[in-house]
Amino acid sequence: MNNLYINRRNPHTPPIPACGLIEDDPEEFEEDLLSDSPTFPLEIFPDAIRNIIEALEEYENFNVDFTSASFLTVFAAAMGNTWSVRFMTGWIDRPIIYMVLVGSPSCGKTPPLQQAVAPLLKIDSEYDRIYCKEIEAYHKWERMSAKQREKNSLPEEMAVPVRKCHVVVDSTLEALIGALRDNPRGVLTYKDEIDSLLSNFNRYNGSDEGYFLSLFSGTPFKYSRKSNNEHIFLPKPYCSIIGTTQPGRLSEQFGGKRMLNGFSSRFLKVYPEINEMPAWNDTDMPDDILAQWETIIRKVVGFTLTTDQEGNVISRELPFSSEAKLRVNRWKIEVSNAEYSATDSDAVRALCGKLETYLIRLCLVIQIMRGICDGVSMEIIDIESAERAILLTEYFRTMEERISPELETGMLDTRYTELLGNLGDSFATREILREAQKLGISRASIFRFLKEGGSGFITKDAHGRYCKIDISK
């Protein structure tokens, strides 16, 4: 089973004998490589959630990958700080997920995301009605004199009401920090277009991106709000992120420096192969389908966040069973470590590290999903959750490989200059593939590069052989 996770990533790649006599023809394999698009492994979900996703596909023509990724992220956000997972003594993590849905305009990214987030937004609207009454009473108290308060049997001191929420849609970091302060359970940053969040990075003080790098780890940090000279300390911040983008924006949003500093690898990316607009369906979906999703989310939110006497969050901590821990350790050795050792690319190595982090978090999310929907134990991570999490982690690895040609467009000039400099005036396909691997450039990108004439710098000389063009002539 372990070899499956290595081989399934490039199922169309021909074997290369140790003698190196095989000659790859990019025109022969490029189409297969570029069309290889995995499907979200629905078997990681309990039947209750899987049935909802399949119903949305059947009646609403929602893309399964977009719906599944949205449901996964929203469920994790509903969990927030309520649960944590302990893999090792010094490794205690929470289900923080950064997710981006990638697709062309009008391909159907937004509707699944809206349906997934809807229950949390509905709960927030209920919170808002309570808050409006509380803030109205506070302002009324504030306008009273001490005698009037005494006459109306009101307290001498009254705390300012806080706005509870699960979802933040404001694009500013300051608004997000305020929401995190007021909601120790945690929040979901929800952006239909993720660019509305990323475009604000470094707009004011040059540090927004750094805060989101830290928020991913959930480590404590301080924030100063210059608008009112307020200093906020967040001992246990929880913030998940979900939004959509288009393939043409990926290089700007996640390429270049953001591939190298680990920002890009913090985002799980879902980029299914979609070649036509979603169809309309004449059959109405049963009314109770979405109600079932809301019921599941309300069950998760219904678990009260525990705090100590000083107000510090105390998560329900799940350890790994010995069997689950052995399975995860075997995956690390046979898959993650192998991937890391096989490349010199800092971007690929950063991805290996972040996928290890996500594997542990996904074990927790899947275990709680199974507990909420199927009644299994929510006290320990079992082997079934570990197996499902590994399957899901490898799906996201394959998605990253599918998306890497789009990301690399922001880095191609420098790396392809270095690549061509490492090759002779004439070279074979196997030679450029070998040098590309050293630089962390994917096979799919090389096949595109060769087929398109290397941006005008190379030409095909014979079957499987290319030569550089002397631009000085």
Q: What CATH code is carried by the domain that includes residue 435? A: 1.10.10
Q: What CATH code is carried by the domain that includes residue 260? A: 3.40.50
Closest CA to 290 of 51, 80, 105: 51
Whether residue 402 is found in the same domain as residue 417: no
Question: Which among 390, 408, 426 is the end of a domain?
Answer: 408
Residue 82 sits at φ, ψ, to 5 deg, of -65, -35
Whether residue 228 is found in the same domain as residue 270: yes
The most confident of 10-24, 59-73, 139-153, 191-205, by mean pLDDT: 59-73
Question: Which among 408, 431, 458 is the end of a domain?
Answer: 408
Residue 351 belongs to a domain: yes
CB of 38 within 8 A of CB of 398? yes
pLDDT at residue 414, as a whole number: 63
What is the rounded distance in angstroms from the CA atom of residue 420 to the CA atom of residue 422? 5
In the structure, what pLDDT confidence band is assigned to residue 17 with cuts at 50, 70 and 90?
Answer: very low
Residues 6+ apart with CB under 8 A from 312: 235, 236
Question: Among 8-22, 186-200, 296-310, 362-376, which stretch is predicted with the lowest mean pLDDT?
Answer: 8-22
What is the rounded distance in angstroms from the CA atom of residue 261 to the CA atom of residue 224? 24
Beta-bridge mates of residue 468: 458
Whether residue 163 is found in the same domain as residue 241: yes
Residue 12 belongs to a domain: no
Give me the domain span that covers residue 339. 2-7+23-142+158-408
Whether residue 205 is found in the same domain as residue 333: yes
- Model confidence over 322-345: pLDDT tens digits? 999 999 999 999 999 999 998 887
Residue 14 belongs to a domain: no
- Model confidence over 252-289: pLDDT tens digits? 888 877 877 788 899 999 999 988 888 888 888 898 99
Tokens 């192969």 map to which residue? 273
Residues 6+ apart with CB under 8 A from 421: none
DSSP 354-407: HHHHHHHHHHHHHHHHHHHHH---SSSB-HHHHHHHHHHHHHHHHHHHHHHHHH
User: Which residue did the predictor score with more confidence, 77 or 434?
Assistant: 77
Taking phi first (over 0 means left), then psi (-120 to 50 degrees means alpha), and beta for anything else, what does residue 148 get? alpha
Residue 153 belongs to a domain: no
Whether residue 416 is found in the same domain as residue 327: no
pLDDT at residue 211, as a whole number: 84
User: Which residue did the predictor score with more confidence, 226 or 378?
Assistant: 378
What is the rounded distance in angstroms from the CA atom of residue 242 to the CA atom of residue 192? 8
Whether residue 175 is found in the same domain as residue 206: yes
pLDDT at residue 3, as a whole number: 38
Residue 148 belongs to a domain: no
CA 202 → CA 175, 223, 228, 277, distances in Å? 15, 15, 20, 36
Residue 15 belongs to a domain: no
pLDDT at residue 455, as a whole number: 58
Whether residue 348 is found in the same domain as residue 239: yes
- Token output for 22: 């095989």
Across 164-173, average pLDDT:
88
Whether residue 83 is found in the same domain as residue 167: yes
Closest CA to 92 of 387, 320, 394: 320
How many domains in the chain? 2
Across 72-93, average pLDDT:
96
- Model confidence over 35-64: pLDDT tens digits? 456 799 999 999 999 999 999 999 999 999
Question: Can you state the percent helix, strand and coil of the chain, rounding each to 5?
Answer: 55, 15, 35
Closest CA to 344 of 413, 440, 415, 422: 440
Whether residue 104 is found in the same domain as residue 240: yes
User: Which residue did the predictor score with more confidence, 315 or 17?
Assistant: 315
DSSP 119-159: HHHHHHHHHHHHHHHHHHHHHHHHHS-HHHHHHTT--S--P
Question: Which among 386, 408, 430 is the end of a domain?
Answer: 408
What is the rounded distance in angstroms from the CA atom of residue 267 to the CA atom of residue 135? 37
Whether residue 166 is found in the same domain as residue 183: yes
In the structure, what pLDDT confidence band is assigned to residue 203 with cuts at 50, 70 and 90?
Answer: low
What is the rounded distance in angstroms from the CA atom of residue 266 to the CA atom of residue 351? 8
What is the rounded distance in angstroms from the CA atom of residue 398 to the CA atom of residue 9? 6
Whether residue 350 is found in the same domain as residue 444: no
pLDDT at residue 95, as a whole number: 98
CB of 262 within 8 A of CB of 213? yes
HSE on the CB side for 437, CA within 13 Å? 10
What is the rounded distance in angstroms from the CA atom of residue 104 to the CA atom of residue 86? 39
What is the rounded distance in angstroms from the CA atom of residue 183 to the CA atom of residue 238? 9
> Which of the 8 DSSP states describes residue 275?
-
Residue 17 belongs to a domain: no
- Token output for 13: 């790649």
What is the rounded distance in angstroms from the CA atom of residue 255 to the CA atom of residue 347? 10
Whether residue 235 is found in the same domain as residue 131: yes
Residue 454 belongs to a domain: yes
- Token output for 177: 């920090």
What is the rounded distance in angstroms from the CA atom of residue 289 to the CA atom of residue 285? 7
